[in-house]
């Protein structure tokens, strides 16, 4: 059997503050296979952002294990974690997080400046990533603040792709887009999944979740059981991937 790209086992995350302890994740166990488009759904405060930060190696579990491509990330130093984020993880955010006055190509090549990629290859790889998300070459030298919302999100996805990551983590990627533009972005994710990319998408929108191969629900820091999942499916009309 192949090793899961993501393998989370009994992960807890507890934060300490002046108000006391907050148990953000409670025994989360989750595996994601290579080439899978997984959706994580949950209301505000459910723990989905903490889980995303854990999967993105931006936060560390209080207990439990997380293996990315078989590598136990708890054994890595801060520098090694930074390299892992730069080379094996791609991030897509609701607010795009592009440099507004930089060109499209500059935004996409930015992650490559933190690697040993030769300068001569950076433009080539950026252009390939932009082609993969369907942005026409005529826009490559535009500043990102000259683009539409959908075009900016495509640039953000290309930036996440440029290092050929093991996993793309997308946090509410259609949250700032109208429905037609959001569908265009979701089509891009669907096409990337068909090409073998592993994608984890966080949303609170059942219509977005319908594009996923599999959806898991998180509530109060715990993933729901199969029975609880079935109850959610019944309430939402049993929608699955279309």
The enclosing domain of 51 has a CATH number of: 3.40.50.300
Residue 175 lies inside a defined structural domain of this protein? yes
Number of structural domains, the chain? 1
Residue 176 lies inside a defined structural domain of this protein? yes
Give the separation between CA 133 and CA 188, rounded to whole angstroms.
Answer: 6
Residue 70 lies inside a defined structural domain of this protein? no
pTM: 0.88
Residue 65 lies inside a defined structural domain of this protein? no
Residue 190 lies inside a defined structural domain of this protein? yes
Question: Above pLDDT 70, what percent of the chain?
Answer: 93
Q: Is the pLDDT of residue 241 over 50?
A: no
Residue 167 lies inside a defined structural domain of this protein? yes
**Long-range contacts formed by 13-21: CB under 8 A, 24+ apart:** 13/47, 13/50, 13/54, 13/59, 13/61, 13/62, 13/221, 14/62
Residue 21 lies inside a defined structural domain of this protein? no
Region 173-199: what's the mean pLDDT?
92
Residue 18 tokens, joined: 């002046």
Q: Are 218 and 229 in contact (CB under 8 A)?
A: no
List the domain range (segments joined by +) for residue 104: 34-58+77-235
Q: Is the pLDDT of residue 159 over 80?
A: yes
């Amino acid at each position: 059997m192949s090793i899961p790209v993501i393998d989370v086992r009994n992960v807890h995350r507890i934060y300490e503050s002046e108000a006391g302890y907050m148990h953000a994740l409670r025994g989360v166990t989750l595996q994601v296979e290579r080439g899978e488009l997984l959706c994580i759904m949950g209301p505000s405060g459910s723990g989905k952002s903490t889980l995303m930060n854990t999967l993105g190696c931006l936060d560390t579990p209080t207990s439990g294990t997380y293996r990315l491509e078989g590598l136990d990330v708890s054994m890595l130093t801060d520098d090694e974690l930074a390299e892992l984020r730069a080379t094996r993880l791609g991030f897509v955010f609701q607010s795009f997080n592009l440099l507004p006055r930089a060109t499209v190509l500059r935004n996409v090549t930015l992650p490559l400046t933190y690697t040993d990629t030769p300068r001569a290859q950076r433009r080539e790889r950026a252009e390939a990533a932009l082609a993969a998300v369907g942005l026409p070459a005529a826009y490559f030298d535009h500043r990102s603040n000259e683009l539409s919302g959908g075009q900016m999100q495509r640039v953000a996805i290309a930036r996440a792709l440029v290092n050929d990551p093991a996993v793309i983590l997308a946090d509410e990627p259609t949250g700032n887009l109208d429905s037609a533009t959001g569908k265009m972005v979701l089509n891009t994710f669907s096409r990337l999944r068909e090409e073998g990319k592993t994608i984890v998408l966080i949303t609170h929108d059942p219509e977005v979740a319908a594009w996923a191969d599999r959806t898991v629900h998180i509530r109060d820091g715990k993933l729901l059981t199969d029975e609880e999942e079935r109850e959610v499916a019944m309430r939402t009309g049993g929608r699955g991937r279309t």
